[in-house]
Amino acid sequence: MRRRHLLGAGLAIVVAGMAGNAMAQSEIKIGEINSYSLLPAFTEPYRKGWQLAVEEINAAGGINGKKLVVISKDDGGKPADATTAANELVSSEKVAMLAGTFLSNIGLAVSDFANQKKVFFLAAEPLTDAITWSKGNRYTFRLRPSNYMQAAMLVEEAAKLPAKRWATIAPNYEYGQSAVAVFKKLMSEKRPDIQWVDEQWPPQGKIDAGPVVQAVASANPEAILNVTFGADLVKLVREGNTRGLFKGRSVVSFLTGEPEYLDPLKDETPEGWIVTGYPWYDIKTPDHDKFLKAYQAKFNDYPRLGSIVGYQTIKAAAAILAKANSTDPEKLIAATEGLSMPSPFGEITFRKIDHQSTLGAFVGKTALKDGKGVMVNSVYRKGADYLPSDAEVEKLRPKD
C-alpha cells in the first residue's frame, strides 16, 4: 500500500516536472529583491505597484507571447542577504534579469554582483548618485530620480528664497551626507551670497529631536534644509512645531511630499515647506488617471510613491525584454540604452550615457487640508532637465 503511494507520488513529481519544463519555455522570469521585512511601510505599496504591472502585462498577452513571472525575495535590509537572494534568483531560478532594491547600500551591492556575474540589473528605488556615476557599471540601470536630481529640483526653488542664512539637518549616513553636499554645492553656485550657519547630523533612525531642534534654533538660520525622513521626520516636526522652530523660517525638504512620509504627520504637517514628492490626488494626466483607477480598483487603497516605482520598474523591465526579444544580458543592455517608454508621469527614457532614467518628481509646497498633509501648487519636473551636462557625467562615471 505504502509502496504504491510512493510510486504515485514519484509519478506525480515527474509529470509536474515535465509540465514545469513546458511552462518554463513560455515564461520569462524577473528576479525582484527588496527590503520587505525591514521597511514594510515603503515596500508594501511598492509590491502592490509591481503586482498591478504584472497583471496588466499578462492580460495584454505577456512579453512577445510569453507569460511574465516575477519572483520576489526579501533582503531583510542587509546587503549580504541581498547578494544571497540575487545568487538564488540567478543560479537557481534562472531569471532573465534582477530588479528592485530600496536602500542605497543594497542597491550598490546588487549592482556590483550584477557586474561580476554579468546579469542585467534594474535598480528601482536607491537614490545614491554612486550607482550610476562613481560606481556605475554597464549592467546596472536606475529608474528613480537620483539624489542629485532631487537636489537640483529643490535648489531651483530654494534659490528664489530671500533667505541668506541656512542650516541643514540630515541623517548621518551616505544618503544624508551626499544630499547635503550636492544641495550646498548647487545652491552656492546659484547664490554665492548665502551662508551655512549650522549643520546637524542625527544618527539615522535615532534622532534626539529636542536637542537638535534647540541647536538649530540657536544658530538662528533664515532657512533650513531637511533630509530626515520616516520616524525621524515625525519626531523632528513634532519638536519643531512645539518649540516654534519653523515659525518665520523657510524649510526645504527632500522627499517629504511623498505620501509615505507625509501621511504619518497627519494634522501636525507643517505648512509651506518646499518638498519633492508625489501628490497623487492632484495629478490630472490621462497616463496617471489610468494608473490611479486601476490601482484603486485592484487594491481599494491610494498609491504611494513606492507604488509608482514598483509599477514602473516592472513595466520598464517588460518593455526592455520585449524590445530585446531575448534574455541575453548584452542584448538587454543594448535594448535599454536610449529606450523610451510611457509611465504614469509621462514618457521617460533610459539614458545611454549613465543608465539613469529621466523619470522626474513633483515639487510643491506642503499644506494642511481636512487635518491631513497634502502637497499644493505642485509642478512635475522632468528628470532630463536636472542632470549635469554630458561632459560632466563622463568625468563622473568610470569607463566600462
E-strand spans in the chain? 27-34, 67-74, 97-100, 121-123, 140-142, 165-169, 195-200, 223-226, 250-257, 274-277, 340-341, 348-349, 361-369, 372-381
Q: Are 98 and 122 in contact (CB under 8 A)?
A: yes
Q: Using CB under 8 A, pick the residue from 205, 272, 338, 342 that binds another protein.
A: 205
For 386, residues 6+ apart whose C-beta sits below 8 A from its C-beta are: 145, 148, 149, 152, 153, 156, 360
231 lines the binding site for another protein (CB under 8 A): yes
Sites for another protein among residues 69-108 (CB under 8 A): 73-76, 78-81, 83-85, 87-88, 91-92, 104-105, 108
Residues 241-270 binding another protein (CB under 8 A) are: 242-244, 263-266, 268
Closest by Cα among 375, 131, 123 to 270: 375
Interface region with another protein, contact rule CB under 8 A, candidates 18-26, 37-45, 292-300, 323-331: 37-45
Residue whose CB is less far from another protein, 307 or 358 = 307
- Please, which residue, 242 or 285, has the CB nearer to another protein? 242
- Reported as type and span, the H/E element at residue 106 is helix 104-117
Task: Identify the residue among 58, 172, 326, 327 touching another protein (CB under 8 A).
Answer: 172
Query: Buried b vs exposed e over 10-41: b needs ≥16 C-beta within 10 Å?
Result: eeeeeeeeeeeeeeeeeebbbbbbbbbebbee
Task: Please give the residues from 123 up to 142 whose contact with another protein meets the rule CB under 8 A.
Answer: 128, 130, 135
Judged by CB under 8 A, the residue of 17, 211, 338, 342 near another protein is 211
Decide if 70 contacts 32 (C-beta within 8 A): yes
Q: Rounded distance, CA 65 to CA 211, Å?
A: 60
Q: Could you say whether residue 164 binds another protein (CB under 8 A)?
A: no
Q: Does the protein bind another protein through residue 345 (CB under 8 A)?
A: no
Binding region for another protein (CB under 8 A):
36-38, 40-41, 44, 73-76, 78-81, 83-85, 87-88, 91-92, 104-105, 108-109, 112-113, 115-116, 128, 130, 135, 172-175, 177, 199-203, 205-206, 208-212, 214-215, 217-218, 230-231, 234-235, 238-239, 242-244, 263-266, 268
